[in-house]
Structure 1
Amino acid sequence: MRAILAIIAMGFALPVLAADVPRQTKDFVSNATVGNKFEIDTSELALKYGKSPEVQNFAHQMITDHTKAGEDLKKALEEAKIEPPENALDMTHEAKYAKLRLFTTKNGFDSAYAHDQLKAHEDAVAKFKDYAANGPTPQVKAFAVALLPTLEHHLAMAKDLNEKMRSHM
Structure 2
Amino acid sequence: MQAVTNNTNAAPCSMKTMEQLAAELRNDFERRVRDNGEEFYCLDCLEHPAKDMVREAHDGEWANDFVYEAVVDTLDNIIGGAGEDDCTPQCDVYHARLLDWVGENLYRMAYVDEAMTEWGAKTLSEALMWGQTRQLEHIARTVWNYLEEICNAQPLAMEGL
TM norm structure 2 = 0.30
Larger RCO (alpha carbons 8 Å, 6+ apart):
2
Q: Which has the larger helix fraction?
A: 1
Q: Which has the higher strand share?
A: 2
TM-score after normalising by structure 1: 0.29
